[in-house]
Amino acid sequence: MSRLDSFIRRLEAQRLVLNWAAAAISGRDGLVLELGLGNGRTYDHLREILPGRAIHVFERKLSVNPRSMPPDDRLMLGDMRETLPEFGLRHGRAAVLVHVDATTGVPERDRVELAWLPGHVAALAADEALVLAGAGLEHPRLRPAALPEGVPAGRYFAYRRV
């Protein structure tokens, strides 16, 4: 499969999974965390499908489309290795949905450079929170969950915080 086809499938899977997750958390209070603002596409989608929900965004280097800029008080600029624990000191385990989109597209590199990430995510997720990720996360508190129909195996990952 070409990288273009792979990219398109990834975006389709993202949209399906985010829509599914928005429905899954409806009626449950709590924060939404977007880990990796990038261009802002998935953030923009989340704020559209979750109107009124507090969405906190983490990014170390701003390269966002100006139309998808989060408000200042919802944007945590800096390395997530530091900003996530800082956020935890203020909010505790208050997230009902965490979308982890911090990957580089090179799985071997991500496995090493983001090895600390699952623990940081588990520390912010409320009990039974949904955690979505573009790459697999391994942590004893993150129990793999089934994805909605139509998401090809290995394309996206879902977990419940236990």
Q: Which of positions 50-79 make contact with ligand SAM (CB under 6 A)?
A: 58-61, 79
Torsion-angle region of residue 15: left (phi > 0), alpha (psi -120 to 50) or beta? alpha
- Does residue 155 bind ligand SAM (CB under 6 A)? no
- Does residue 124 bind ligand SAM (CB under 6 A)? no
Name all contacts of 134-138 with Cβ < 8 Å and 24+ positions apart.
134/10, 134/14, 134/100, 134/101, 134/103, 135/100, 135/103, 135/107, 135/110, 137/100
Please name every residue paired with 59 in a beta bridge, in sequence order, or none if there are none.
77
Tell me the closest approach of the beta carbon of residue 159 to ligand SAM, in angstroms.
18
**Distance in Å from the first CA to the final CA of the chain:** 36
Among 100, 101, 126, 135, binds ligand SAM (CB under 6 A): 101
Tell me the closest approach of the beta carbon of residue 24 to ligand SAM, in angstroms.
19
- Listed in sequence order, the residues at least 6 apart from 100 whose beta carbon sits closer than 8 Å to its beta carbon are 35, 36, 117, 121, 131, 132, 133, 134, 135, 137
Query: What residue is closest to ligand SAM based on CB?
Result: 38
Tell me the closest approach of the beta carbon of residue 58 to ligand SAM, in angstroms.
6
Among 22, 46, 97, 102, binds ligand SAM (CB under 6 A): 102
Tell me the closest approach of the beta carbon of residue 37 to ligand SAM, in angstroms.
6
Helix (H) or strand (E) holding 71: none
Tell me the closest approach of the beta carbon of residue 98 to ligand SAM, in angstroms.
13
Among 9, 12, 15, 38, binds ligand SAM (CB under 6 A): 38
Chain residues in the site for ligand SAM (CB under 6 A): 36-42, 58-61, 79-81, 101-103
